[in-house]
Chain A
Amino acid sequence: MAARVSERLQVLTGHQAVAEAMRQIEPDVVAAYPITPQSEIMHYFAEFVANGKVRTELITVESEHSAMSACIGAAVAGARTMTATASQGLALMIEMVYIASAMRCPIVMAIANRALSGPINIHCDHSDAMLGRDAGVAQLFAEDAQEAYDFMVMAPRIAEHEDVLLPVWVNLDGFTLTHTADVVELLEDELVREFVGEYRPKYPLLDVDHPTTQGPFALPEYYFELKRQQVDAINSVPRVLQEVQAEFARLSGREYQGFFEPYYLDDAEYAMVVMGSTAGTAKEAVDRLRERGERVGLLKLWLFRPFPREEVATALEGKEAVAVLDRAFSLGSYGPLFLEVSSALYESERRPRLYNYTYGLGGRDTTASQLEAVFRQIRDEHLSKEMHYINLRE
């Protein structure tokens, strides 16, 4: 088994890793619109289509709004459906993302995370992902191309589970992951196909013998109950994710246990919470400080939605202090990730001191030395509870 997968070691960009996963899954329909830094995912995939490597129908729509609308149409029709986007594209399609969730469409979406305008900027941050925070989509964040690939392979199984039936976003940092090459271990095509299986929708629109009305008008008598069903759906994600992770581990030998990767976290006195590629930088900072005997650790969050409150609280309680790193603003409040972590720890009697750092907006570099400095700062019991900024000119 190990030999079989190791032959699949390749040097791939994040774009290629995602496109390879899409090729292996071979969805029925993909609808997408170009946007930096997502475009090359679709270039690679369009070549797979053009060369008959997949039988997918690619709808080259005239906007992201139509991309998501076409995806919903395809998904309700009964097709396995995917798309990829970023930034302004995600902002344009967000109206339809809410509707995709409400119509219980298991659409898998790769998000090449990029800052939102304005000013216009093509580089990475997580502002675009935060547009989906309240939309009713499951959100995974990848640290590297391997995780992006693995999550893409797992995503249809999560999205299409009958208790879930929601869009799943696989977030990967624009440029940092999409445009850089890394060693990625691909699974064999057949294994992926068996793993994702056939898509069998329960109520496809195209079942003309059993006509359904999909996307009706609901007034105060029913709207609330219909929305409530989405709560159960998204709350099913953690259980389903763990089942899928276990099965994936048997298939690939790669263990994803739970909702985050703890890195020297157990005995850490000081911890950091981060999502995406910056986790790699944070690991470097932890390594350096550990070499000097400092008990620091990292919680690298994979699952942002639904937010794994209890597990995060259990992992962080008892620490002296925790720095939560946000790569997006929620202007007028703390960062979105900080709000989640602090809310998760509220009930804990052993809650650590919590600090919010914003970093990396619009692609601003964040170095291991800067993160070492964060670990040093949070030792200070008198450190301000106001927002802190990493590598920002004031």
Chain B
Amino acid sequence: MANIKTLARREEKQLRFGWGHALCAGCGIPIVVRTVLNSIEGPVVVANATGCLEVATTLFPYTAWNVPWVHTAFENAAATISGVETAYRVLKKRGKIAKEIRFVAFGGDGGTYDIGLQALSGALERGHRFLYVCYDNEAYMNTGIQRSSATPLGAFATTEPPGKTSFGKHRHRKDLTQIVIGHHIPYVAQASISHWQDLSRKVERAIAKDGPSFINVMSTCFRGWRFEAKLTTEIARLAVESRFWPLYEVDEGEWRLNYLPEEPLDVRDWLKLQGRFAHLFRPEEKKEVIAQIQAEVDRQWEELLARCKVVPTV
């Protein structure tokens, strides 16, 4: 497993990503991208869905990418990479390419949970050898904090704002990781920018699979979630500690919980640090909504534990 020194050495040696990108200071996405790319040895080709990552890294005539990179549209990163990967297999068979190349697609939750779900499902079912990484910041941040199907219950979103008759988003988030697991691909995991070693190890496992793999990474957005930029990884850590975002993997069908919070936090401790949930606490606490959020977190946690063959000890 790559340790911090290995990752740092690779970053210095090859600098795959990061030349003057325009993502916000305090954005979670570059943490995802650098950890993913530095955890892969050898040549890698990247496809990107439209979104923050794409617009902030490829403003023509500049690029922040030092690996081959392709973007075509919003809803189709998985379809695009499946074309690239297929071309690679053919050209390799025909002796036109000698190198071993790995393929990674990046998309946000809008481009993955919503508009890109069909293309993702198709590419997973067809069995292309690629890793899809979703940087999940729980709303359409690039276009202005609109609700996505990854936005949690009760959160503020510009298209589902709290008001006199509304407490924000009315529905629980979609469980995309479980949807992907339903495709029975070799490797699926949930990770967080707060646990980079765990993410790095998951990338290594995923990329070694001779088939599709998927990692859903909690990537906080201080602009949309309304917290101080210095808390980027801390808020992500609290999502894990509160069991809102469990770290787990399904490796060749075996479910493993990767992290067991020692003393799980009340979900309230995570919510109250974020401005997007402020209306749940002021002027008076909306206890029913918070209770609903907690109940859903507990239900999903129990369900997950029941499925996991491997559970770490505290």
A residues near B (Cβ < 8 Å) are 28-29, 31, 55-57, 59-63, 65-66, 69-79, 81, 95-96, 99, 103, 205-208, 211-219, 222, 226
- The listed residue (A61, A63, A99, A211) touching B67 by CB distance below 8 A is A211
The answer to whether A208 and B87 have CB atoms under 8 Å apart is: no
Cα separation A158 to B60 with both chains bound (whole Å):
28
Asked whether, in the complex, the Cβ of B65 is within 8 Å of the Cβ of A211, the reply is yes
Known: A29-B90, A70-B79. A208 touches B45 (CB 8 A): yes
- Are the CB atoms of B65 and A213 closer together than 8 Å? yes
A154 to chain B, nearest CB (A): 23
Q: Give B residues with C-beta under 8 Å from A.
A: 43-45, 47, 54-55, 58-61, 63, 65-73, 75-76, 79-91, 93-94, 96-97, 99, 101, 118-119, 121-123, 125-126
Query: Least Cβ distance of A378 to chain B in Å?
Result: 45
- For A66, give its contact among B71, B79, B84 (CB under 8 Å): B79
Residues in B neighbouring A73, C-beta threshold 8 A = 47, 70, 72, 79-87
Contacts of A218 on B, CB cut-off 8 Å?
A: 59-60
Contact B97 A206 (CB under 8 A): yes
CB contact between B59 and one of A59, A211, A219 (< 8 Å): that residue: A219
CB–CB A69/B87 < 8 A? no
Given contacts A99-B73, A208-B101, contact A213 B83 (CB under 8 A): no
A72 partner residues in chain B, CB cutoff 8 A: 72, 80, 83
Known pairs A70-B86, A211-B67; list 8 more (Cβ under 8 Å): A55-B90, A62-B122, A66-B119, A74-B86, A77-B83, A79-B91, A214-B71, A217-B58
Q: By DSSP majority rule, is chain A's interface helix, strand, loop, or mixed?
A: mixed
- Closest chain A residue to B128 by CB distance? A59
- Cβ–Cβ < 8 Å partners of B80 in chain A: 69-70, 72-73
- In the assembled complex, which residues on chain B have CB atoms less than 8 Å from the CB atom of A79? 86-87, 90-91
CA distance A69 to B70 in the complex (A): 11
**Bound form: Cα–Cα A70–B66 in Å:** 23
Bound complex: CA A350 to CA B93 (Å): 60
Does A62 contact B119, Cβ atoms closer than 8 Å?
Answer: yes
Interfacial chain A residues near B85, Cβ < 8 Å: 73
Give the complex CA separation of A72 and B72 in angstroms.
Answer: 8
Which residues of chain A are within 8 angstroms of B90 by Cβ–Cβ distance? 28-29, 55-57, 79
Q: For A99, list chain B residues within 8 Å (CB).
A: 72-73
- With most chain A CB atoms within 10 A of its CB, the pick from B68, B73, B93 is B68
Q: Check A55/B122 contact, CB under 8 A, given A76-B84, A99-B72, A217-B55.
A: no
Closest residue of A by beta carbon distance from B125? A62
CB of B76 within 8 A of CB of A66, answer yes
Select one of B54, B67, B72, B126 contacting A96, CB under 8 A: B72
Beyond A28-B87, A211-B65, whether A226 also contacts B121 by CB under 8 A is no
Residues of B within 8 A of A95 (CB): 73
Q: Collect the chain B residues with CB atoms within 8 Å of residue A217's CB.
A: 54-55, 58-60
Which listed residue, A75, A78, A226, touches B91 by the CB 8 Å rule? Answer: A78
B contact residues around A74 at 8 Å (CB): 83-84, 86-87
16 A-B residue pairs with Cβ-Cβ distance under 8 Å, sorted by A, are: A31-B83, A31-B86, A55-B90, A59-B83, A59-B126, A61-B79, A62-B125, A70-B79, A78-B87, A81-B87, A205-B45, A205-B84, A207-B68, A208-B45, A211-B67, A219-B59
* A66-B60 contact, Cβ under 8 Å, with A55-B90, A59-B86, A205-B84: no
Residues on A with C-beta less than 8 A from B72 are 69, 72-73, 96, 99, 103, 215
What separation, in Å, do the CA atoms of A286 and B203 have in the docked complex? Answer: 69
Cβ distance B127 to chain A, nearest Cβ, rounded Å: 11
With A29-B90, A60-B126, A95-B73 known as contacts, the answer to whether A77 contacts B61 (CB < 8 A) is no
A65 in contact with B119 (CB, 8 Å): yes
Question: Complex: how many Å from CA A215 to CA B54?
Answer: 9
Q: How far is the CB of B98 from chain A (nearest CB, A)?
A: 11
Q: How far apart are the CA atoms of A328 and B85 in the complex, in Å?
A: 38
A208 touches B71 (CB 8 A): no
Q: CB-CB < 8 A to A211: which residues of B?
A: 65-69
Nearest-neighbour CB distance to chain A for B191, whole angstroms, equals 26
- Give the chain A neighbours of B76 by CB distance below 8 A: 65-66, 69, 96
CA A216 to CA B68, docked complex, whole Å: 12
Q: Chain B residues near A81 (CB, 8 Å)?
A: 83, 87
CB distance from A60 to the nearest CB of B (A): 7
CB distance from A126 to the nearest CB of B (A): 26
Cα distance A18–B82 when bound, in Å?
25
Closest Cβ–Cβ distance, residue A149 to chain B (whole Å)? 24
CB-defined contacts of B55 to chain A, threshold 8 Å: 217
Q: How far is the CA of A206 from the CA of B58 in the complex (A)?
A: 18
Partner of A214, one of B69, B82, B94, B126: B69
- B101: chain A residues within 8 A (beta carbon): 206, 208
Q: In the complex, A137 Cα to B118 Cα: how many Å?
A: 27
Residue pair A212, B68 in contact (C-beta under 8 Å): yes
Chain B residues positioned under 8 Å from A96 (CB to CB): 72-73, 76
Greatest chain B CB density within 10 A among A28, A71, A219 is at A28
A345-B81 Cα distance, complex, nearest whole Å: 46
- B68, A206: Cβ atoms closer than 8 Å: yes
CB distance from A89 to the nearest CB of B (A): 14
For the complex, give the distance between the alpha carbons of A212 and B80 in Å: 16
Looking at A103, A207, A217, A222, which has the most chain B CB atoms within 10 Å of its CB? Answer: A217
Instruction: Establish whether residues A57 and B86, one from each chain, have CB atoms under 8 Å apart when the complex forms.
Output: yes
B-side contacts of A75, CB under 8 Å: 83, 87
Chain B residue numbers with a CB within 8 Å of A60 are 126
Given known A-B contacts A57-B89, A69-B83, A76 and B70 have beta carbons under 8 A apart:
yes
Q: Bound state CA distance, A218 and B58, in angstroms?
A: 8
CA distance A28 to B67 in the complex (A): 24
Set of chain A residues within 8 Å of B59, measured between Cβ atoms: 216-219
- Specify the chain A residue showing the minimal Cβ separation from B93: A55
Closest to A71 in B: B83
What is the distance, in angstroms, from A65's C-beta to the closest C-beta of chain B? 6
